[in-house]
Amino acid sequence: MSYLNFLRETAEKAGNVVCMGLDPVMDYLPARLGYRIDEIIPNFFEKLFDVMSNRYLKPAAFKPNQGYFIKHDVPLQGDFSGSHALSKTIKLCREYFPHTPIILDYKRGDITTSSKNYAKEGFERWVVDAVTISPYMGGDSISPFLEYTAKGQGTYILNRTSNPGGKDFQDLILQDGKPLYLAVGKKIIEWSVKYPGTGAVVGATSIHELKVLAELYAPHNIPLLIPGIGSQGGSAKQVMSVLKKAKYDTRLARINSSSGITHPWKKSGHIPENWESVCADELEALIGDCTIA
């Protein structure tokens, strides 16, 4: 199955386009989940997935951010507990929510030979459905990833990101008077002709740019990964409205919230006793905002 059809089918089955970001932060995890990193993090997600399953709350994708896991590795001491935690978390996603897309957020991008190694790591070693990459080094840098897209997996290219510093380069005006992010967007469309399923990362916090790019991408079936919802300030309702007005196929979008679902108590610092239900409530509300007709 092509990645485009996989996105459409899983969105229809879930009834929404929510992407649940999996970015575990030890300071915000409840107590009594274990003693080792590769116990605590997977136990957290297993308890949460169990409540989600019992309440029939199914997102349309999961997005583990590799950096939140592997920072716990201490390779020179033979400690790979972060990598083990990521492995267990991916397996839990497959167990509780089979056939739901898993997007590994690792933002790679290097010279061709190095990118081949990174592509193999993401698609073959972590066995995920899609990855995120950077376009900064150009076509030969991303082509090893797109070769997997030709086989039915997805590649999301950073386009207009949700972080404040994104404007430092992405909004730069080129000689033709157009911003750099728009030039990248047109290149993504060009690459997608040969590799359907080539997608773009466009932040919900840059709503004007999202509108421009959604209108650009709508006729070309470019999958969108849209971070920035929740703690970063983006609005899911506003994003859905922009996509629909652009006549964009919302089934190809995945609107991501991470800590807003898994650590909604981050600002208060108080972890409630019924934390699983609190997380599930946040997910349910986001699903309500991202329901597809």
Would you name the residues annotated as active-site residues? 107
SS (H, E, C) the chain: CCHHHHHHHHHHHHCECEEEEECCCHHHCCCCCCCCHHHHHHHHHHHHHHHHHHCCCCCCEEEEEHHHHHCCCEHHHCECHHHHHHHHHHHHHHHHCCCCCEEEEEEECCCHHHHHHHHHHHHHHCCCCEEEECCCCCHHHHHHHHHHHCCCCEEEEEEECCCHHHHHHHCCECCCCCEHHHHHHHHHHHHHHHCCCEEEEECCCCHHHHHHHHHHHHHHCCCEEECCECCCCECHHHHHHHHHHCCCCHHHEEEEECHHHHCCCCCCCCCCCCHHHHHHHHHHHHHHHCECC
Contact by Cβ (8 Å): 61, 19: yes
Rounded to the nearest 5 degrees, what angle is found at the Cα of 235, between the Cα atoms of 232 and 241?
150
Contact by Cβ (8 Å): 141, 109: yes
Contact by Cβ (8 Å): 69, 83: yes
